[in-house]
Chain A
């Protein structure tokens, strides 16, 4: 699950990173946002959106995206 701060909500962590990059000589960087990555193994992937809604993300302030990777 990729969990991101919702658009339009102040993201001071992203702003701090955005200010730090040019200081190291990396120019042309914009729209930096810092979120979370949660990895898990699950037998029934259809449960994952409910997991996000109820615990893993707070839908008031965060968007989530589920990326499914099937075991090789």
Chain B
């Protein structure tokens, strides 16, 4: 089982994501300008500021050569995890419902939050039980999740911020969502920064561990 972690110009969390993946399986970086996914079994689109986030977060990265291949991979059922900026890119690509707007506070937030597993039936949460609380950091300015009425069924809400932990004004406390088929997931918190008790929590590792159980 091998992960591919996308590196765009402006990515900044791809190495942490790579290290998180390598705790559970093989992993390599994928360059944004390539089209070849190198036979990986799962793709992680990491956090950062892809292509400077010019115009709108994730808007330009979505059209990179590699993303065209990632979109095809996702449409064929391949598992794709988008973290923070990666979540924004997947929304812009139309792989996930909704969009991310500036935080209601208009401020950058960087803090540890608790998120609750709402749907343990995805390839990303299969090591979790419904209602499990995961302690994972958020760090973003544009993380307010919004979906127009009727486009986000409840079973596509994978993670919610625990009561009182919503850091950005996200609709219905939504922290992470998946697509209709469950093979694409995005979340604003950074599970790759929570894989070692040394830094406060290893709860984020459970998402990578879940994905690593995907048959190679």
Size of A's binding interface in residues, CB under 8 A: 10
Q: Please tell me if the beta carbons of A55 and B101 are within 8 angstroms of each other in the complex.
A: no
Q: How far is the CB of A40 from chain B (nearest CB, A)?
A: 12
Q: Please tell me if the beta carbons of B102 and A13 are within 8 angstroms of each other in the complex.
A: yes
Instruction: Tell me the residues in window 29-58 of chain A with beta carbons closer than 8 Å to chain B beta carbons.
Output: 55-56, 58
A60 within 8 A of B: yes
Q: Please tell me if the beta carbons of A12 and B105 are within 8 angstroms of each other in the complex.
A: yes
Pick the contact of A10 from B147, B148, B169 — CB < 8 Å? B169
Q: How far is the CB of A41 from chain B (nearest CB, A)?
A: 18
A66 within 8 A of B: no
Instruction: Tell me the residues in window 125-152 of chain B with beta carbons closer than 8 Å to chain A beta carbons.
Output: 144, 146-148
Instruction: Tell me the residues in window 188-213 of chain B with beta carbons closer than 8 Å to chain A beta carbons.
Output: none
Q: Please tell me if the beta carbons of B101 and A9 are within 8 angstroms of each other in the complex.
A: yes
A21 within 8 A of B: no
| In the complex, per-residue mask of B78-96: 1 if CB is within 8 Å of any chain A CB, else 0 | 0000000000000010000
Q: Please tell me if the beta carbons of A60 and B106 are within 8 angstroms of each other in the complex.
A: no
B216 within 8 A of A: no
Q: How far is the CB of A33 from chain B (nearest CB, A)?
A: 13
Q: Please tell me if the beta carbons of B106 and A16 are within 8 angstroms of each other in the complex.
A: yes
Q: How far is the CB of A34 from chain B (nearest CB, A)?
A: 10
| Interface pairs (22), CB distance under 8 Å | A9-B101, A9-B146, A10-B101, A10-B104, A10-B169, A12-B103, A12-B104, A12-B169, A13-B102, A16-B106, A55-B59, A55-B60, A55-B63, A56-B55, A58-B59, A58-B99, A60-B98, A60-B99, A60-B146, A60-B147, A61-B99, A61-B101
Known contacts A12-B102, A55-B55, A58-B56; 7 further A-B pairs (Cβ under 8 A):
A10-B101, A12-B104, A13-B102, A13-B106, A60-B99, A60-B148, A61-B146
